[in-house]
Amino acid sequence: MPKAPTLDDLRRYAVARTLFKPTTLARAIDKLGFVQADPIRAPARAQDLILRHRVAGYRAGDLERRYARLPIDEDAFVNYGFLPRRHLALMHPRTPKRRWDAATQKKAAEVLAFVRERGPTHPRIVEAHFAQGRVTNYWGGSSNATTHLLDAMHYRGLLRVRRRDSGTRIYEAVDRPAVDDSPAARAARAAALLELVVAKYAPLPAASLVYLARLLGYGAPHLGEETRLALAALRERLASVRIERVTWHWPAAENPRSRRHAPDGRVRLLAPFDPIVWDRRRFALLWGWTYRFEAYTPASQRKLGYYALPLLWRDQVIGWANAAVVNGRLRVVAGYPEGAPGDPEFKRELAAERERMASFLGL
């Protein structure tokens, strides 16, 4: 019988399996399966901070600039972000838990017809068109109503994001192919979604696997029962080990003890939503301290900073850093739960990471 992995093995495996050799933008998103998005820039958006470690020559904003030419979509999964277009058939047609009333259905149908006829459309144009008399007081004078309805139509799969203009979503109508809605097909889609979750976030503590299965209620709320049943079956197929009263799961075809998972010596500043650190439960188990995302915490209560970036060295997350552009130069202020390493190699690597970050930002 093969030797069971230790917590050290799982730590190296967790880092190495997602830090693949930098590749093209399309291939990186395909390998990741999903890239979580966040609008805060500190010093760049989360999706850019995630991709810069995995895409050769990546620069902040490349995803937005190249999005329209890639086979990807903005959509809901366990969170909101970017995913390969082929995954959308697993979640659409999406049936939200809250259904529209007749009046909202009528509004949505009219907006859909307008966008379909016009092509890629800015929300301001939608609002202006309906506010100019075709439907009296259609939006009640609130641009937020426009945004809300377009977001809801996008979530339901009636619209897709064609591109962004200065961060604003430009929508177009979409015709999705009919799907097999038989019980067997629904069960297969739920199972495939869970496989995507495990492929992205393994190795996973058992409690985190359950939590992520619940989060699939965002991307596929209509597959709730199928997801619950698929989770029970998936556990039987996954490899697992129990360490210090915690059960861990990962794909059966992968070996956490492989020598391929040996860490390199590079320092990396990670996004708060990078797959290495996304699961805060796993983070505490693997690295022994608590990382918090404090952008929405009152300033007086922050311990790490507004947008603290986890600081990875080799296979250890040894601290965090807040990065900001001041007078055209990148300033990085690091913090450590147990003090800064005195190793000269670490200091050299941290300086090299500052340079890489500055280049990524175009400074």
pLDDT per position as a tens digit, 62-102: 999 999 999 999 999 999 999 999 999 999 999 998 899 99
Q: State the Cα–Cα distance between residues 21 and 6, nearest whole angstrom.
A: 25
Question: Is 122 inside a domain boundary?
Answer: yes
Do β-strands 239-243 and 204-205 pair in parallel, antiparallel, or remain unpaired?
unpaired
Mean pLDDT of 265-285: 97
We report the CATH number of the domain holding residue 121 as 1.10.10.10
HSE at residue 197, side-chain half, CA atoms within 13 A, is 33
Give the total number of structural domains in the chain: 1
Question: Is 157 inside a domain boundary?
Answer: yes
Beta-carbon contacts of residue 240 (< 8 Å; ≥ 6 apart): 206, 247, 248, 249, 250
Question: Is 141 inside a domain boundary?
Answer: yes
Mean pLDDT of 19-33: 96
**3-class SS at 152?**
helix
Question: Is 263 inside a domain boundary?
Answer: no
Q: State the Cα–Cα distance between residues 327 and 254, nearest whole angstrom.
A: 47
Residue 1's pLDDT band, with cuts at 50, 70 and 90, is low
Answer for the pair 247, 241: CB distance below 8 angstroms, yes or no. yes
Strands (E), the chain: 35-36, 72-76, 80-84, 159-165, 168-173, 204-205, 239-243, 246-250, 267-269, 309-313, 316-326, 329-335
Question: Is 241 inside a domain boundary?
Answer: no
Please report the pLDDT score of residue 136 as a whole number.
Answer: 37
Nearest to 268 by CA among 50, 109, 112: 50
**DSSP states along 73-138:** EEEESSSEEEEEGGGGGGT-S---SSPP-HHHHHHHHHHHHHHHHH-SB-HHHHHHHIIIIISTTT
The pLDDT tens digits of the residues spanning 118-166 come to: 999 999 999 888 874 333 334 344 447 888 899 999 999 999 999 999 8
Question: Is 169 inside a domain boundary?
Answer: yes
C-alpha pair distances (Å), 58 with each of 42, 145, 332, 346: 17, 36, 20, 24
The range of the structural domain enclosing residue 116 comes to 102-173
What's at 292, amino acid-wise? R
Residue 40's pLDDT band, with cuts at 50, 70 and 90, is very high
The pLDDT tens digits of the residues spanning 211-260 come to: 999 999 999 999 999 999 999 999 999 999 999 999 999 999 999 999 99
Q: State the Cα–Cα distance between residues 210 and 225, nearest whole angstrom.
A: 14
Nearest to 50 by CA among 25, 87, 77, 75: 25
Question: Is 347 inside a domain boundary?
Answer: no
Mean pLDDT of 190-199: 97
The pLDDT tens digits of the residues spanning 297-356 come to: 999 999 999 999 999 999 999 999 999 999 899 999 999 999 889 899 999 999 999 999
- Tokens describing residue 40: 């805060």
pTM of the model: 0.92
Q: State the Cα–Cα distance between residues 153 and 105, nearest whole angstrom.
A: 10
Question: Is 142 inside a domain boundary?
Answer: yes
Answer for the pair 268, 353: CB distance below 8 angstroms, yes or no. yes
Residue 261 in this model has a pLDDT that exceeds 90: yes
C-alpha pair distances (Å), 220 with each of 136, 193, 256: 36, 9, 30
